[in-house]
Amino acid sequence: MAVVVFSDLYPILSNVLVQRPLVSSLVVIALTFCARSAFTAFRAYQSDKEIGRRYGCLPPPRLRNAWPWGIDRLLQIFQADASHRLMELFLFHFQDVGSTLEQRFLGTPAYGTIEPRNLEAMLSSSFADFGYGLRRQIFFPLLGDGIFTQDGPPWKHSRDLLRPQFSHQQYQNLTIFKEHVDNLIACLPGTGEQVDLQSLFFRFTLDTTSAFLFGESTYTLKEGQSVTGLEFATSFDTAQDYVVKRFRLLDLYWLIGGPKFHQACASAHEFIDKIIKRRQRKDLGLDDQGGKYLFFDAVAKDSTNEEALRGQLLNILLAGRDTTACLLSWTFHLLVCHPRVLLRLHEEIQMMANGSAGPSMSRDDIKRMPYLANVLKETLRLFPSVPVNTRSATRTTILPTGGGPDGRSPVLVRKGQNVAYCVYAMHRRKDLYGDDAEDFRPERWDSEDFSLKNHTVHTSWGYLPFNGGPRVCLGQDFGLMEASYATVRILQTFPRIEAGVFDRPQVQSWQGYSSHHTNAVHRIAKERQKMTLVMSLGDGCPVRLWR
């Protein structure tokens, strides 16, 4: 049939090509380009296949799709997200399929892993083989050019620039937090009325981070002081919601946008631009301000224009506000749900109060509270602020484990393929943390008998609330000190804290499907989780406090 059709068309095509030399040339060029592209792709495939054979690579188990192109998986993800059950879904997939798996969205293969050895390879030993991929294009409308949207030499330059700004000397005595914790405590009723701590924590960390970055605070916790700060926070949150949706569509990220997204980005940019102009007009230097504007000045001197400066500041503001606000929210949620832990923490703080703990406590005082450190560490284990992340292979490479029927063979990752790693799920592995891996038990960090501590790679890479390798979080100590100081001050001020009541009807567990579409997802935790670029409580953190 095809031969008959071609024989019918051949005289027509020949006539067109002979009579129209331009068309003929274009056809030849197009055919040559297609042939060369196909040949190049074939050679790359053969080369990758040889690499896989050389290292004994085998594919990991696949997360099966019921619909073509994995459309059912995309719908499942969006449904789970709308129900605030996305991490529960991811956890179930790994528990159901394996600790490394393959998935296909829109025909494109990608991988997911919660294996410490694979994370060590991606984030450290094979660091040069992985980059951010499409993240820059996806995040750029909001964050611009900054450390979280950069790869290669630009990223290294940004990191070298920012690292000194997070030196302990900048916040050794913690006075940078005192004023804002005072404002936070002033917002808390002390006679048993219910209050949502999470919304206040996001305002608190915006105030502290803006003071640290700009030398002036947004003061969103001070009544009548900063309407613009609250407007910025709203715009920033709206833009983040869009960015996350773009991220989940990967190659089709451009489908998510529109006037509301671009307006939110523009509003956030305008807020930062006004601060930049205000700082530049005042022309405040280090000599007459005792180093108060060290962070802003260092970044401003290095930036080629205001747009580059804004991008870098927005990147750090995102990390400084959102991650610590989530840590504080989850910490207090877990404390009020576990009175025994709350009591023991109160006792440690009270013991320190007889010494030097109080509004004027220092970083060294915080370091002398081991149970507080364990509480925060355990909170970050169960609810890491950034629970899932991705990397894209910049060249064909391998993951050291996860392939084959037994999950022990290397896995070939071709150039351009994405690998997601979910620390939320890894932190709940029973083979790493014991049978009570899903329980909140800060004392586990004093024990030497759980699996994580009995394996070198697991010890270093099985717990990653702050990422790892060259991209490990620069501000982790700053964030932990901020959360520690705020926690101590709140518990000192309010000796009695109880869980509040969620202002919502009883929510049923989100029902998903296993890789074989037969088993329902069982609810792992009571908490609903809201996913933006970070993981917060889907229903806030309602508590009641008494002075």
From the annotation, which residues make up the binding site?
473
User: What are the backbone dihedrals phi and psi of residue 529, each rounded to the nearest 5 degrees, phi first?
Assistant: -120, 125
How many Å apart are CA 19 and CA 111, to the nearest integer? 52
- Angle, CA of 146, 475 and 462, to the nearest 5°: 105
How many Å apart are CA 78 and CA 543, to the nearest integer? 30
Binding-site sequence positions for heme = 473
Assigned token pair, 206: 């915006």
The answer for residues whose C-beta is within 8 angstroms of residue 119's C-beta and 6 or more apart is 113, 421, 426, 461, 464, 468
Cβ atoms of 321 and 206 closer than 8 Å:
yes
Q: How far is CA 365 from CA 233, 359, 400, 442, in A?
A: 32, 11, 42, 20
Assigned token pair, 537: 């409580």
Residue 149, SS3 per DSSP:
coil
Q: Quick one: three-class SS letters along 303-370?
A: CCCHHHHHHHHHHHHHHHHHHHHHHHHHHHHHHHHCHHHHHHHHHHHHHHHCCCCCCCCCHHHHHCCH
Residue 110, SS3 per DSSP:
strand
Assigned token pair, 154: 């630009």
The answer for residues whose C-beta is within 8 angstroms of residue 239's C-beta and 6 or more apart is 141, 142, 261, 264, 265, 268
- The residues that bridge with 397 in the sheet, in sequence order, are 413
Residue 102, SS3 per DSSP:
strand
Assigned token pair, 460: 């270093």
Residue 540, Ramachandran bin (φ over 0: left; ψ between -120 and 50: alpha; else beta)? left
DSSP label at 417? Answer: -
